[in-house]
Amino acid sequence: PFDVLVVGGGPSGASAAIYAARKGIRTGIVAERFGGQIMDTLGIENFISVKYTEGPKLAANLEEHVKEYNVDIINSQRAKRLEKKDLIEVELENGAVLKSKTVILSTGARWRNIGVPGEAEFKNKGVAYCPHCDGPLFEGKDVAVIGGGNSGVEAAIDLAGIVKHVTVIEFSPELKADTVLQDRLQSLPNVTVIKNAQTKEITGTDKVNGISYIDRETGEEHHIELQGVFVQIGLVPNTDWLRGTLELTRTGEIVVDNHGATSIPGIFAAGDCTNSPYKQIIISMGSGANAALGAFDYLIRN
């Protein structure tokens, strides 16, 4: 069996594996796709001490760094079951069962899709999810942000400084963002907020040219011409397979303490799949290191 088995090969998993392996203990890492979300990221300018890198390059650097150590890498495999017996068992979709004294869950998250016609079709052709990454592509253009929670309103404030005009589309009768964010949003001259609106379709030809929504009060359909749509309705943690095994928040994030420990002794978690408030590369790497040290601490006491 492993001493530490890491499930997930994004920044948090890679960091956890390196920290564990540096203690000289048997370490494995199983990942559906090594690199995780950064494989879908182009420019990265906030990974401190590296002024600019690109996602796939950082992913290759992560893998290279992990390979410096004696870590068993099990790539392209998805975990489907977690169970604590004498040892902790992780069953993979191919039927293999991996056993370990401790496990670090670092399965990350994905952007929630709105699921309307045009979304999938125009992904990267006007439909975007990350204002920090794709905002500059829409300089001087008209865009919509779907979602009036904190992330949607933050995105709108951010984009308003770059693009010509931002329309925020909120399903509910009221925005859900913190008041201070709403106040800031209202103070901007190039932002319109449409509440009580159900997005119906993202329209376009070869790329986005507009968005249709239904006014939920009148039932009338409206169409706005624009060039970009940012979908900001939440990040979904990749924890469906863990439901019923350990404590999750209402939104499915794994609840961890300040050692990265979950509700089951010996099982730790790190990165975007946890209830940590901010989801960024540098933060997930720190939390991976933290969970590995937490697991090591657990091993020497048990």
Is-catalytic flag, 133? yes
Reduce the DSSP state of residue 87 to 3 states and report it: coil
Q: Footprint of ligand FAD on residues 8-27 (CB under 6 A)?
A: 8-13
Say which residue the tokens 């979950």 belong to.
262
Residue nearest ligand FAD, Cβ-based: 108
At its nearest, how many Å lie between ligand FAD and the CB of residue 107? 4
Pick the closer one to ligand FAD by CB: 213 or 230. Answer: 230
Task: Tell me if 131 is assigned to a ligand binding site.
Answer: no
Cα 268 from Cα 289, distance rounded (Å): 11
CA distances in angstroms from 195 to 60, 69, 122, 209, listed in the order given: 43, 53, 24, 21
Q: Using the rule CB under 6 A, is 30 a contact of ligand FAD? A: yes
What ranges make up the beta strands (E) of the chain? 2-7, 27-31, 43-44, 53-54, 71-75, 79-84, 88-92, 97-105, 109-111, 127-128, 142-146, 165-169, 191-194, 197-204, 208-215, 221-225, 228-231, 235-237, 267-269
Is-catalytic flag, 178? no
Over the window 125 to 164, marking each residue x when it contacts ligand FAD by CB under 6 A and - when it does not, the resulting string is -----x-xx-------------------------------
Which residue of 27, 102, 106, 262 would you call a contact of ligand FAD, by CB under 6 A? 106
Query: Amino acid identity of 180?
Result: V
Is-catalytic flag, 134? yes
Over the window 218 to 257, marking each residue x when it contacts ligand FAD by CB under 6 A and - when it does not, the resulting string is --------------------x--x----------------
- Positions marked catalytic: 130, 133-134
